[in-house]
DNA sequence: TTTGCCGGGTT
DNA sequence: AACCCGGCAAA
């Protein structure tokens, strides 16, 4: 483990400029667990030098990357409060390869993108655990983290000075009103691997709702997979709770039983299902229903 | 064409 | 039960 850290530390800082490096914590080690296909995901240790030259290498053997064994730190602290562990002692892989080069008022945080959940943790493993236990309904003991949790959170970067409510200003709708959730990551982030839109208030006056009341919060939204933009916001309800979706033997959409008869058509739900999200490869991380070609039960409509 | 999944199979 | 797949309809 430590060896990987050292290698990543030693190799990285020479490529990018030391002064104006956009240094974003690169999810290099999160290159899933399988190296099969995923032609572009040759993002290995350090930074990936902006896809200039690693196309020549057919497929980098991709370092050991045992995905997360850092659970034993987090088992005891049950509450997932905001300040879980700010120190970087816990993880080695998800953090920035360049140690502490940040502008000393910037901080990366991880924001849960679930429907009404606005939890913001400071570590990726923390938010993965939050998503896994709270939303995905996984048991907290069996960690078994596929990449699935990555779809439900995004990495933001905020100024610490305006952290008073700077984070909550990122959520345009107040948590009380049940307004439709905004399209959180703007849709022009469809580039395959991580891009960073820098909506500072300077030149590109992004009319987006975020960064509205806090003009000094330049926020980066990392899009790890291409589908992260739409997947979390279009999930109406957690997979476990979705049992009440139309939980009746009635045909496609005639809710009977009482006076109200809501006949919602089944207009081919819009939420991307496991097949589309994960792709035909990586089929083994679909939900079981999708694998059996049944109605998806992870991304319900 | 692809994608979601019902109905109906087999293990 | 769990596990598949033909085939259909919607996009």
SS3 of A12-46: the string is HHHCCCCCCCCCCCCCHHHCCCCCCCCCCCCCCCC
**Among all strands, which nt has the closest C1' to A295 (CA)?**
B5
Last residue of a domain, one of A181, A213, A235: A235
pLDDT of A207-227, one tens digit each?
A: 333 333 333 333 333 434 333
Instruction: Estimate in Å the CA A33 to C1' B5 gap, whole number.
Output: 29
- Its domain, for residue A279, covers 237-301
Instruction: Decide if A123 is inside a domain.
Output: yes
A241 and A98 in a common domain: no
The reply to whether A280 has its C-beta less than 7 Å from any atom of strand B is yes
Q: How far apart are CA A101 and CA A96, in angstroms?
A: 9
Q: What pLDDT is recorded for position A178?
A: 35
Q: How far apart are CA A75 and CA A143, in angstroms?
A: 10
Instruction: Decide if A150 is inside a domain.
Output: yes
Evaluate if residue A58 carries a pLDDT over 70.
no
Instruction: Decide if A26 is inside a domain.
Output: no
Residues found in chain A? 301
pLDDT of A164-173, one tens digit each?
A: 444 444 443 3
Q: What pLDDT is recorded for position A38?
A: 35
Instruction: Decide if A208 is inside a domain.
Output: yes
What mean pLDDT comes out for the span A125-137? 71
Evaluate if residue A82 carries a pLDDT over 70.
no
Protein-contacted positions of strand B (CB under 7 Å)? 3-8
A244 and A195 in a common domain: no
Instruction: Decide if A17 is inside a domain.
Output: no
pLDDT of A35-50, one tens digit each?
A: 333 333 333 333 333 3
A88 and A223 in a common domain: yes
List of long-range contacts for A125-131, beta carbons under 8 Å, 24+ apart: A125/A68, A125/A70, A125/A71, A125/A74, A125/A90, A125/A91, A125/A94, A126/A74, A126/A80, A126/A84, A126/A85, A127/A153, A128/A68, A128/A153, A129/A71, A129/A74, A129/A80, A130/A80
Q: What pLDDT is recorded for position A132?
A: 73
A159 and A206 in a common domain: yes
Under 8 Å between Cβ of A84 and A121? yes
A217 and A246 in a common domain: no
> Per mean pLDDT, which of A75-84, A148-157, A238-247, A270-279 is the most reliable?
A270-279
Instruction: Decide if A160 is inside a domain.
Output: yes
Nearest to A92 by CA among A123, A53, A49: A123
A228 and A247 in a common domain: no
Q: How many CA atoms lie within 13 A of A168 on its CB side?
A: 6
Q: Which residue places its CA closest to the C1' of nucleotide C3?
A: A292
Q: How far apart are CA A289 and CA A296, in angstroms?
A: 5
The reply to whether A265 has its C-beta less than 7 Å from any atom of strand B is no
Instruction: Estimate in Å the CA A242 to C1' B10 gap, whole number.
Output: 29
What mean pLDDT comes out for the span A157-168? 48
| A60: confidence class by pLDDT, cuts 50, 70, 90 | very low
Q: How far apart are CA A147 and CA A285, in angstroms?
A: 8
A115 and A263 in a common domain: no
Which of A21-25, A80-84, A93-97, A243-247 is predicted with the least confidence, judged by mean pLDDT? A243-247
Domain count, chain A: 2
The reply to whether A269 has its C-beta less than 7 Å from any atom of strand B is yes
Last residue of a domain, one of A235, A260, A278: A235
């Amino acid at each position: 483990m430590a060896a990987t850290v050292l290698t990543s530390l030693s190799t990285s800082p020479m490529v990018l400029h030391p002064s104006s490096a956009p240094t974003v914590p690169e999810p290099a080690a999160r290159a899933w667990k399988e190296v099969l296909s995923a032609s572009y995901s040759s993002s290995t240790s350090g930074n990936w030098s902006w896809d200039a030259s690693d196309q020549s290498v057919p497929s980098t053997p991709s370092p050991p990357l045992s995905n997360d064994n850092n659970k034993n730190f987090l088992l005891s602290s049950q509450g997932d409060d905001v300040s879980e562990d700010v120190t970087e002692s816990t993880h080695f892989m998800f953090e920035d390869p360049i140690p502490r080069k940040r502008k000393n008022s910037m901080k990366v945080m991880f924001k849960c993108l679930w429907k009404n959940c606005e939890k913001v943790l400071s570590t990726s493993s923390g938010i993965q655990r939050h998503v896994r236990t709270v939303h995905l309904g996984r048991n907290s003991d069996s960690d078994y983290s596929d990449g699935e949790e990555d779809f439900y959170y995004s990495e933001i970067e905020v100024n610490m000075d305006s952290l008073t409510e700077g984070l909550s200003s990122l959520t345009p709708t107040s948590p009380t009103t049940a307004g439709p959730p905004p399209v959180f990551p703007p849709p022009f982030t469809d580039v395959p691997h991580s891009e960073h839109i820098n909506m500072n208030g300077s030149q590109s006056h992004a009319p987006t709702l975020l960064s509205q009341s806090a003009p000094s919060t330049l926020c980066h939204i990392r899009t790890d997979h291409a589908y992260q933009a739409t997947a979390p916001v279009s999930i109406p309800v957690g997979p476990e709770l979705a049992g009440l979706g139309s939980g009746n033997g009635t045909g496609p959409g005639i809710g009977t039983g009482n006076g109200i008869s809501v006949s919602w058509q089944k207009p081919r739900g819009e939420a991307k299902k496991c097949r589309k999200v994960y792709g035909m490869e990586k089929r083994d991380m679909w939900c079981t229903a999708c694998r059996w070609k049944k109605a998806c039960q992870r991304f319900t409509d």
